């Protein structure tokens, strides 16, 4: 049976067990991965995967079950588990199936791995490090190719199929000199064609060169309010917290989002444009389907004004607001008009922050944490790497305090983001 | 359970591991009275890892029959050959494993999904009726079990079953300024649900205490930024042991350049500090993540990392122990059937001292007592940060006002050198998941520890 036939069989089992409605997602895929650890390329790994996920509705009561087998007896058992769970659950009028009846298939990316080319690129990465950046010590790295097919069917007639193939690369490393070691650093990239040196993906070369300058960081002393420039990867992580704390189902359903009444109102500096674009052709790792719907791009903040939340179908029903068609993630922030160098040149005293290592921001967005892989900026110049330096602020205020956005952006295959300068963040040392 | 299914394999062509595994999870949750999660999940399969020329081939399949086992053995062998054909031989051959047979105890999960829903529903009802002013309440249950069977070319056989079950509460209140504050608490630990939870009412005193702390935090103050004298509770001293020291002493990380590397045999902490990654037992007590034989077939033993302030050794797999001339410690563990074993921690803790908590508080004129953490991270330099989700001022030897969320940080060996008091209590915790390429359920714990750290404030 093909995956669609298995999904339809799964729906039959849900109905036979007493579900009034149901969803079935079936996945099959293969991953091949070269793995570097403990100082050597030590592992070649192939992984075959299957997965089936059921959602059963009995009226508006929901139950779910998942397994990793396509065997008929296992499907029957999991369908029964899902329906049994639904029967004992609580009525929730917000539960239901996606209403848009769509039948579509999507396909993207190379479905067959080029193993020899993967190994050549991987070896080339280490050879280039050894030749040009010998102080870099790689802790772990993987290059992988994944291919998979995913079929989503519902009892109300939806069928969405997507096939995807693509490569990924992810190294973690540090710089060493004598007994001194930098903080670890990393980058990751999704890509469709294994035709470029791996160091040229996702701004990796800059990350490596910055790491070399972080072997002997200086502990900052005292405390000041200053300007902080976040790298694209670091700013992307902070945007993830913004989505989680202010825009997502949980924060809006329980009413704790401080942006719950902010649609159409300013929440960021006017220069800030933020969107989710899962369908962008610029991304190697975009997606076609989210939450049982065909995914569509969506603006979150335009000219500093909040356009939409990131609610799922359930979250939308629960709050009476509209569902976001993107499903979240896949962030794009529009480029500004200044170069990174120009942005640095106007900082009197502040930081260039490569990674934020902090506790989860509080519900109101208050955050504090260590500035890792970061540099001090004085009078428009980067002076030294820093250690034991904390930054604190508030996510919501941070977006209002954006002063500049770089013209340069980094595309890691999942997001396209610039460097972003923010004023009035608290920086404290020992 | 599938004990004995690998017995049909009596010989392998090379240095080989064949592992069958099934992970089972349950996730049930109420958010403000609505059931937002009600899920059962199972992930099972078989894998083989074959060593050749100092490198490995690995393959896994979600099918678990004899034919699938033959397939993964061949695919793993082909992968090992591909590497051997393209890359030079490395390292010295691994010595054979000590022949071991271990059969752990299977524990039937007898609690139904309905019973857990009702259990959580009662807790949710208690919160809703007793504390109607909470703006948000989440009551959830998470159960995870790892069942594994391992066979190796040199005669090791091991069957293990590692269950845990936790109930989590997340409660939110609004401050007068209209900003949300939150307290999260996780209960339970090693074992299936019925072993940890029998009657919801037994948790009510703990829930009352949690709400009281939330109300204190609602009126709380922001910490002052800077280097402060602090007492960290077991939840944090366990995190310090795991994140800030433990990771730097994983042998694969040492090979890559961890800051701990040059300090073996040297003083890295106060003489009061002894820190160990325990395999399975501490003073007769079975620990949260008991490992008897690891996923390479090595008999697990305690790894003493710091002894009286001196850095003494690393946590190893077979390969790293061979490289350093040490005895393997049995720290090679894999999370899922499709995962290769990695060097990782089991139950990591600073050992208790002789002080009392009240004496420790009395000794501080101006500092903080941190009691709960939300997350923690550390890196190759030993620099760490923990998110603090509950804590108090200490003023003139007495506990003061509660704190809002903050962050503490430091460099592990520097902080450990400032330790001047350690309490005589020992608390073990079992809800943490360590992330290192794969997740893995870990135990951690410890006593109260007094030290100096950087505190992030407003």
pLDDT in tens, A74-102: 999 999 999 999 999 999 999 999 999 99
User: Chain B within 8 Å of A17 (Cβ-Cβ)?
Assistant: no
Per the CB < 8 A criterion, the answer to whether A109 and A299 are in contact is: no
**CA angle, corner B336, sides to B333 and B339, nearest 5?**
70
- Burial class (CB within 10 angstroms; exposed 0-12, middle 13-18, buried 19+) of A173: buried
Per-residue pLDDT at B3 exceeds 70: no
Radius of gyration of chain A measured on its C-alpha atoms? 24
**How far, in Å, CA of B315 to CA of B245, rounded?**
11
* Chain A residues lying within 8 Å of B34, measured CB to CB: 90, 92, 94, 318
Q: Distance between CA atoms of A299 and A330, rounded to whole angstroms?
A: 11
Q: Who's near B84: CB < 8 A, 6+ residues apart?
A: B52, B53, B55
Range with the lowest mean pLDDT among A125-139, A266-280, B93-107? B93-107
Among B23, B34, B134, B173, pick the best mutation site for testing chain A contact (most A Cβ within 10 A). Answer: B34
C-beta atoms of B380 and A182 within 8 A: yes
Q: How many CB atoms lie within 10 A of CB A27?
A: 18
Q: Do B39 and A85 touch (CB under 8 A)?
A: yes
Specify the range with the lowest mean pLDDT, choosing from A282-296, A358-372, B137-151.
A358-372
Q: pLDDT by residue (tens digit) across B211-248?
A: 999 999 999 999 988 899 999 999 999 999 999 999 99
> Is A44 within 8 Å of B80 when comparing Cβ atoms?
yes
By the CB < 8 Å criterion, does B336 face chain A?
no
Q: Collapse the DSSP code of B256 into the 3-class scheme (helix H, G, I; strand E, B; otherwise coil) and give the result.
A: helix
**Closest in A81, A181, A390 to B407, CB measured:** A390
Quick check: A371 and A210 in contact, CB under 8 A? no
Q: Is the pLDDT of residue B416 over 80?
A: yes
Average pLDDT over residues A303-311: 98
Q: Is the CATH number of domain B5-218 3.40.50.1000? A: no
Identify which of A68, A363, A368 has the shortest CB distance to residue B407.
Answer: A368
Q: Which positions in chain A touch B88 (Cβ < 8 Å)?
A: none
> B35–A46: do the CB atoms touch at under 8 Å?
no
Q: Cβ contacts (< 8 Å) between A69 and chain B: which residues?
A: 44, 62-63
Please report the pLDDT score of residue B404 as a whole number.
Answer: 92
* Closest Cα in chain A, distance from residue B96 (Å): 19
Residues paired with A227 in a beta bridge:
A350
Query: What local confidence, expressed as pLDDT, does residue B430 receive?
Result: 84
**Residue B62's closest chain A neighbor by CA?**
A49
B387 vs A62, A65, A358: nearest CB: A358
pLDDT, tens digit, 9 for 90 and up, residues B347-371: 999 999 999 999 999 999 999 999 9
Chain A residue closest in CA terms to B436 = A140
**Which pLDDT band holds residue A38 (cuts at 50, 70, 90)?**
confident
Average pLDDT for chain B: 93
* Subunit contact B38:A92, Cβ cutoff 8 A: no
Q: Which residues pair with A172 in a beta bridge?
A: A140, A186
pLDDT higher than threshold 90 for residue B376 = no
* Range(s) within chain A of domains with CATH label 3.30.2290.10: 3-212
A214 at B interface, C-beta within 8 A: no
Chain B residue at shortest CA distance from A177: B257
Of A50, A68, A392, the CB nearest to B456: A392
Phi/psi for B299 (5° steps) reads: -65, 125
Among the partner residues B57, B61, B91, nearest to A48 by beta-carbon distance: B61
User: What integer pLDDT is reported at residue A4 of this predicted model?
Assistant: 97
Whether the Cβ atoms of residue B426 and residue B352 lie closer than 8 Å to each other: yes
> Is A38 in contact with B320 (Cβ distance < 8 A)?
yes
Cβ-defined contact of B79 to A45 (cutoff 8 Å): yes
- The mean pLDDT value for B203-214 works out to 97
Domain boundaries, chain B: 5-218, 226-456
Average pLDDT, chain A: 95
How, if at all, do strands B285-286 and B303-307 pair?
Answer: unpaired
* Partner residue facing A179 (CB), from B31, B253, B262: B262
pLDDT at A43 over 80: yes
pLDDT of residue A123: 96
> By CA distance, what is B50's nearest residue in A?
A43
pTM of the model: 0.92
- Asked if residue B458 has pLDDT above 70, the reply is no
> Can you tell me the distance from the alpha carbon of B403 to that of B380, in angstroms, rounded to the nearest whole number?
30
pLDDT of B179 > 70? The answer is: yes
- Kindly state the average pLDDT of the residues A218-237: 93
Considering only CA atoms, which of B29, B39, B28, B146 is closest in space to residue A66?
B39
User: By the CB < 8 Å criterion, does A49 face chain B?
Assistant: yes
Contact B409 A48 (CB under 8 A): no
**Residue reference for tokens 């990782």:** B344
A104 in contact with B, Cβ within 8 Å: no
| pLDDT tens column, A175-213 | 999 888 899 999 999 999 999 999 999 999 999 999 999
Judged by CB atoms closer than 8 Å, whether chains meet at B380 and A69 is answered as no
CA distance A373 to chain B (A): 11
Q: Are B441 and B219 in contact (CB under 8 A)?
A: no
Reported as a pLDDT band with limits 50, 70 and 90, residue B26 is: very high
Q: Is B114 on the interface with A (CB under 8 A)?
A: yes
Partner residues linked to A166 by β-bridges = A146
Q: Which residues in chain B have their CB less than 8 angstroms from residue A387's CB?
A: 381, 383, 411
Question: Angle at CA A198, nearest 5°, toward A196 and A200?
Answer: 75
Residues 126-185 of B with CB under 8 A from A: 135-136, 172, 174, 178-182
Query: Among residues of chain B, what percentage have pLDDT more than 70?
Result: 98
So what's the pLDDT on residue B377?
85
pLDDT in the model for residue A368: 85
Which chain A residue is nearest to residue B177, measuring alpha carbons?
A364
- Give the closest-approach CA distance of B283 to chain A in angstroms: 33
Nearest to B429 by CA among B294, B239, B167, B244: B239
Cβ(B409)–Cβ(B387) under 8 Å? no
In the prediction, which pLDDT does B374 show? 85
Contacts of A40 in chain B (CB under 8 A): 54-55, 90-91
Its sign, for the CA torsion A190, A195, A197, A203, is: negative
Give residue A153's pLDDT band: very low, low, confident or very high (50, 70, 90): very high
Interface-testing mutation among B48, B222, B257, with chain A (most A C-beta atoms within 10 A): B257
Q: Which residue of B has its CA nearest to A387?
A: B383
Q: In the predicted model, what is the mean pLDDT of residues B89-115? A: 89
Q: What is the pLDDT of residues B74-83, one digit of tens each?
A: 999 999 999 9
Q: Are B38 and B117 in contact (CB under 8 A)?
A: yes
Over residues A389-405, mean pLDDT? 95
Domain A3-212 sits in which CATH superfamily?
PmbA/TldD superfamily (3.30.2290.10)
How far is A331 from chain B, CA to nearest CA, in Å?
24
Q: Distance from A335 to chain B by nearest Cα, in Å?
A: 31
**What pLDDT does B242 receive?**
94
pLDDT digits (tens, 9 = 90+) for A163-179: 999 999 999 999 999 88
B315 pLDDT more than 80: yes
Residues 272-311 of A with CB under 8 A from B: none
Farthest-apart Cα atoms in chain A, separation: 72
A38 contacts chain B (CB < 8 A): yes
């Amino acid at each position: 049976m093909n995956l669609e036939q298995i999904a339809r069989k799964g729906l039959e089992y849900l109905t036979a067990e007493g579900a009034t409605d149901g969803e079935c997602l079936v996945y099959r895929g293969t991953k091949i991965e070269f793995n570097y650890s403990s100082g050597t390329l030590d592992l070649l790994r192939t992984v075959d995967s299957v997965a089936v996920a059921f959602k059963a509705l009995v009226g508006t009561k929901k139950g779910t079950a998942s397994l990793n087998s396509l065997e008929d007896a296992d499907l029957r058992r999991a369908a029964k588990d899902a329906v049994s769970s639904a029967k004992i659950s609580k009525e929730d009028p917000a539960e239901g199936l996606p209403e848009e009846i769509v039948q579509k298939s999507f396909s993207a990316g190379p479905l067959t791995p080029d193993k020899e080319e993967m190994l050549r690129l991987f070896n080339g990465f280490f050879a280039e490090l050894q030749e040009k950046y010998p102080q870099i010590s790689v802790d772990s790295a993987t290059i992988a190719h994944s291919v998979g097919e995913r079929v989503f069917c519902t009892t109300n007639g939806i069928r969405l199929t997507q096939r995807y193939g693509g490569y990924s690369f992810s190294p973690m490393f540090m710089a060493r000199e004598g007994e001194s070691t930098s903080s670890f650093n990393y980058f990751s990239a999704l890509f469709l064609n294994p035709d470029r040196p791996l160091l040229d993906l996702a701004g990796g070369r800059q990350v490596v060169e910055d790491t070399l300058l972080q072997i002997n960081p200086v502990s900052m002393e005292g405390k000041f309010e200053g300007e902080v420039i976040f790298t694209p990867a670091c700013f992307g992580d902070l945007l993830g917290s913004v989505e989680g704390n202010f825009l997502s189902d949980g924060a809006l359903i329980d009413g704790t989002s401080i942006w719950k009444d902010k649609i159409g109102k300013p929440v960021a500096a006017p220069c800030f444009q933020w969107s989710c674009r899962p369908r962008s052709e610029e991304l190697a790792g975009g997606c076609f389907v989210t939450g049982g719907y065909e995914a569509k791009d969506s603006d979150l903040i335009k000219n500093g004004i909040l356009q939409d939340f990131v609610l799922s179908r359930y979250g939308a029903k629960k709050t009476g607001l509209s569902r976001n068609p993107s499903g979240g993630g896949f962030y794009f922030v529009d480029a500004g008009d200044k170069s990174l160098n120009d942005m640095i040149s106007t900082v009197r005293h502040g930081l260039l922050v490569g990674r934020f290592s902090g506790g989860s921001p509080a519900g109101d967005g208050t955050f504090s944490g260590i500035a890792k892989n970061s540099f001090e900026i004085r009078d428009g110049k980067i002076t030294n790497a820093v250690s034991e330096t904390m930054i604190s602020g508030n996510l919501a205020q941070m977006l209002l305090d954006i002063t500049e956005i770089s013209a340069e952006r980094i595309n890691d295959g999942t997001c396209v983001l610039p460097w972003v300068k923010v004023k009035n963040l608290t920086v404290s040392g020992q | 359970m599938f004990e004995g299914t690998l017995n049909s394999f009596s010989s392998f062509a090379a240095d080989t591991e064949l592992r069958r595994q099934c992970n089972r999870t349950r996730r049930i949750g109420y958010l403000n009275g609505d059931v937002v999660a009600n899920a059962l999940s199972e992930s099972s399969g078989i894998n083989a890892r074959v060593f050749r020329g100092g490198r490995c081939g690995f393959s896994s399949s979600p099918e678990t029959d004899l034919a699938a086992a033959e397939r993964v053995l061949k695919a793993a062998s082909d992968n090992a050959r591909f590497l051997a054909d393209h890359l030079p031989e490395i390292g010295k051959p691994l010595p054979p494993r000590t022949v071991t047979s271990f059969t752990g105890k299977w524990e039937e999960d007898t609690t139904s999904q309905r019973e857990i829903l009702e259990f959580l529903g009662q807790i949710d009802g208690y919160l809703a009726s007793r504390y109607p002013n909470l703006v948000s309440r989440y009551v959830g249950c998470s159960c995870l079990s790892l069942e594994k069977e391992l066979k190796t070319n040199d005669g090791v056989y091991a069957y293990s079953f590692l269950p845990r079950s936790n109930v989590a509460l997340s409660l939110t209140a609004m401050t007068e300024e209209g900003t949300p504050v939150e307290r999260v608490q996780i209960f339970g630990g090693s074992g299936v649900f019925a072993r940890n939870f029998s009657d919801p009412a037994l948790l009510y005193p703990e829930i009352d205490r949690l709400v009281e702390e939330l109300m204190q935090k609602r009126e709380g103050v922001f910490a002052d930024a800077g280097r402060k004298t602090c007492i960290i509770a077991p939840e944090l001293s366990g995190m310090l042991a795991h994140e800030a020291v433990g990771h730097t002493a994983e042998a694969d990380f040492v090979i890559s350049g961890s800051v701990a590397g040059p300090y073996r045999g040297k003083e890295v902490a106060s003489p009061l500090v002894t820190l160990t990654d325990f395999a399975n037992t501490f003073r007769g007590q079975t620990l949260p993540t008991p490992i008897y034989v690891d996923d390479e077939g090595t008999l697990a033993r305690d790894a003493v990392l710091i002894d009286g302030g001196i850095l003494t050794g690393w946590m190893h797999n077979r390969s790293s122990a061979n490289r350093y001339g040490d005895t393997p410690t049995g720290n090679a563990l894999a999370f899922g059937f499709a995962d290769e074993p990695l060097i990782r921690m089991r139950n990591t803790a600073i050992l208790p001292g002789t002080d009392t908590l009240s004496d420790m508080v009395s000794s501080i004129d101006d500092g903080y007592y941190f009691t709960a953490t939300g997350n923690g991270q550390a890196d190759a330099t030993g620099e760490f940060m923990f998110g603090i989700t509950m804590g108090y001022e200490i003023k003139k030897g007495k506990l003061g006002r509660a704190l809002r969320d903050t962050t503490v940080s430091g460099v592990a060996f520097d902080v450990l050198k400032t330790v001047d008091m350690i309490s005589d209590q020992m608390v073990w915790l079992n809800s943490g998941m360590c992330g290192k390429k794969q997740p893995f359920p870990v135990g951690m714990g410890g006593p109260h520890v007094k030290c100096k750290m950087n505190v992030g404030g407003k």
